[in-house]
Amino acid sequence: FSESGVPQLVQPMIWDYAADLDVEGKVHLVEKYRRCGFSKVWFASAFKGATGVNQSLTLIGHHLKNHLQWLKVASSSPADILEGIALTGWQRYDHFSVLCELLPVAIPSLAVCLQALKNGGYSEKIKENVEKLLGMSNLETETVMR
Protein backbone atom coordinates (compact mmCIF):
# COMPACT_ATOMS: atom_id res chain seq x y z
CA PHE A 1 0.00 0.00 0.00
CA SER A 2 2.76 2.46 0.85
CA GLU A 3 4.14 2.06 -2.69
CA SER A 4 0.94 3.68 -4.00
CA GLY A 5 2.03 7.03 -2.57
CA VAL A 6 -1.30 7.52 -0.78
CA PRO A 7 0.26 7.68 2.73
CA GLN A 8 2.33 10.68 1.62
CA LEU A 9 -0.78 12.49 0.37
CA VAL A 10 -3.35 11.98 3.12
CA GLN A 11 -3.66 11.67 6.88
CA PRO A 12 -6.39 9.31 8.12
CA MET A 13 -8.89 10.45 10.74
CA ILE A 14 -10.19 7.94 13.28
CA TRP A 15 -13.71 8.83 14.44
CA ASP A 16 -15.38 7.66 17.65
CA TYR A 17 -17.85 9.52 19.88
CA ALA A 18 -18.51 6.78 22.46
CA ALA A 19 -18.03 7.42 26.16
CA ASP A 20 -16.64 3.89 26.47
CA LEU A 21 -14.40 4.10 23.41
CA ASP A 22 -12.25 0.96 22.99
CA VAL A 23 -8.78 2.31 23.79
CA GLU A 24 -6.91 -0.89 22.95
CA GLY A 25 -8.77 -1.25 19.65
CA LYS A 26 -7.95 2.32 18.65
CA VAL A 27 -4.27 1.86 19.57
CA HIS A 28 -4.17 -1.23 17.32
CA LEU A 29 -5.83 0.78 14.53
CA VAL A 30 -3.18 3.51 14.88
CA GLU A 31 -0.49 0.80 14.64
CA LYS A 32 -2.12 -0.63 11.49
CA TYR A 33 -2.09 2.81 9.86
CA ARG A 34 1.59 3.20 10.76
CA ARG A 35 2.40 -0.22 9.24
CA CYS A 36 0.60 0.89 6.05
CA GLY A 37 2.98 3.83 5.76
CA PHE A 38 0.95 6.66 7.30
CA SER A 39 3.22 8.86 9.41
CA LYS A 40 0.37 10.90 10.93
CA VAL A 41 -3.23 10.25 12.00
CA TRP A 42 -5.99 12.44 13.40
CA PHE A 43 -8.60 11.61 16.03
CA ALA A 44 -12.18 12.90 15.85
CA SER A 45 -14.36 13.37 18.91
CA ALA A 46 -17.55 15.32 19.55
CA PHE A 47 -18.39 17.93 22.16
CA LYS A 48 -22.07 17.93 21.15
CA GLY A 49 -24.58 16.40 18.78
CA ALA A 50 -23.55 12.75 18.97
CA THR A 51 -25.90 11.29 21.58
CA GLY A 52 -29.27 11.31 19.87
CA VAL A 53 -31.12 12.74 16.90
CA ASN A 54 -33.58 14.63 19.11
CA GLN A 55 -31.19 15.52 21.95
CA SER A 56 -31.80 19.12 23.00
CA LEU A 57 -29.41 19.46 25.95
CA THR A 58 -25.78 18.38 25.89
CA LEU A 59 -24.68 15.42 28.01
CA ILE A 60 -21.36 16.90 29.17
CA GLY A 61 -20.27 13.79 31.07
CA HIS A 62 -20.62 11.63 27.95
CA HIS A 63 -18.40 13.92 25.89
CA LEU A 64 -15.89 14.40 28.70
CA LYS A 65 -15.51 10.61 29.07
CA ASN A 66 -14.99 10.33 25.30
CA HIS A 67 -12.17 12.87 25.41
CA LEU A 68 -10.56 11.20 28.42
CA GLN A 69 -10.59 7.92 26.44
CA TRP A 70 -8.95 9.66 23.46
CA LEU A 71 -6.24 10.94 25.82
CA LYS A 72 -5.57 7.31 26.80
CA VAL A 73 -5.31 6.34 23.12
CA ALA A 74 -2.88 9.22 22.53
CA SER A 75 -0.70 8.29 25.51
CA SER A 76 -0.62 4.63 24.40
CA SER A 77 0.32 5.47 20.79
CA PRO A 78 3.69 6.55 19.39
CA ALA A 79 4.18 10.20 20.35
CA ASP A 80 5.00 11.37 16.83
CA ILE A 81 2.01 9.86 15.01
CA LEU A 82 -0.84 12.02 16.34
CA GLU A 83 -1.31 15.14 14.22
CA GLY A 84 -4.30 16.45 16.18
CA ILE A 85 -7.86 15.94 17.34
CA ALA A 86 -10.94 17.41 15.68
CA LEU A 87 -13.69 18.29 18.16
CA THR A 88 -16.82 17.99 16.09
CA GLY A 89 -20.14 19.55 17.08
CA TRP A 90 -22.88 17.97 15.01
CA GLN A 91 -25.96 20.10 14.44
CA ARG A 92 -28.17 17.46 12.82
CA TYR A 93 -27.95 13.81 11.92
CA ASP A 94 -28.90 14.29 8.28
CA HIS A 95 -30.31 17.01 6.07
CA PHE A 96 -33.89 15.90 6.74
CA SER A 97 -33.57 15.94 10.56
CA VAL A 98 -34.39 18.73 12.95
CA LEU A 99 -31.54 20.61 14.60
CA CYS A 100 -30.19 19.13 17.81
CA GLU A 101 -28.12 20.62 20.64
CA LEU A 102 -27.71 24.19 19.48
CA LEU A 103 -24.30 25.73 20.16
CA PRO A 104 -25.31 27.98 23.10
CA VAL A 105 -26.36 25.01 25.28
CA ALA A 106 -23.20 23.13 24.30
CA ILE A 107 -20.63 25.80 25.17
CA PRO A 108 -20.06 24.36 28.68
CA SER A 109 -19.36 20.97 27.10
CA LEU A 110 -16.94 22.52 24.62
CA ALA A 111 -15.13 24.32 27.45
CA VAL A 112 -14.90 21.14 29.57
CA CYS A 113 -13.64 19.06 26.65
CA LEU A 114 -11.07 21.64 25.55
CA GLN A 115 -9.76 22.02 29.09
CA ALA A 116 -9.54 18.23 29.53
CA LEU A 117 -7.50 17.96 26.33
CA LYS A 118 -5.32 20.96 27.16
CA ASN A 119 -4.56 19.67 30.66
CA GLY A 120 -4.30 15.97 29.84
CA GLY A 121 -7.20 15.07 32.12
CA TYR A 122 -9.99 16.47 34.26
CA SER A 123 -10.01 17.37 37.94
CA GLU A 124 -11.89 19.50 40.45
CA LYS A 125 -9.38 22.32 39.82
CA ILE A 126 -10.06 22.21 36.07
CA LYS A 127 -13.82 22.15 36.75
CA GLU A 128 -13.46 25.27 38.92
CA ASN A 129 -11.44 26.95 36.17
CA VAL A 130 -14.18 26.23 33.61
CA GLU A 131 -16.84 27.54 36.01
CA LYS A 132 -14.83 30.74 36.48
CA LEU A 133 -14.24 31.18 32.73
CA LEU A 134 -17.95 30.72 31.98
CA GLY A 135 -19.25 32.64 35.01
CA MET A 136 -21.08 29.57 36.31
CA SER A 137 -21.51 28.64 39.94
CA ASN A 138 -22.07 24.89 39.55
CA LEU A 139 -21.07 23.04 36.38
CA GLU A 140 -22.76 19.64 36.26
CA THR A 141 -21.03 17.00 34.17
CA GLU A 142 -23.00 13.93 35.23
CA THR A 143 -26.51 15.33 34.77
CA VAL A 144 -28.07 17.50 32.11
CA MET A 145 -27.42 21.19 32.69
CA ARG A 146 -30.50 23.16 33.75
Is 68 a domain residue?
yes
Helix (H, G, I), strand (E, B) or coil at 66: helix
Is 45 a domain residue?
yes
pLDDT surpassing 50 at residue 139: yes
Q: How confident is the model at residue 144 (pLDDT cuts 50, 70, 90)?
A: low
Is 88 a domain residue?
yes
Is 139 a domain residue?
no
- Give the range among 6-10, 91-95, 135-139 with minimum mean pLDDT: 91-95
Is 141 a domain residue?
no
Q: How confident is the model at residue 83 (pLDDT cuts 50, 70, 90)?
A: very high
Note down the domain range covering 47.
6-134
CA angle 90, 101, 145 (to 5 degrees): 130
CB within 8 Å of 33: residues ≥ 6 apart: 12, 41, 81
Instruction: CATH number of the domain at 60, please.
Output: 3.20.20.80
Number of domains in the chain: 1
Per-residue model confidence as pLDDT tens digits over 112-134:
999 999 999 999 999 999 999 99
Is 145 a domain residue?
no
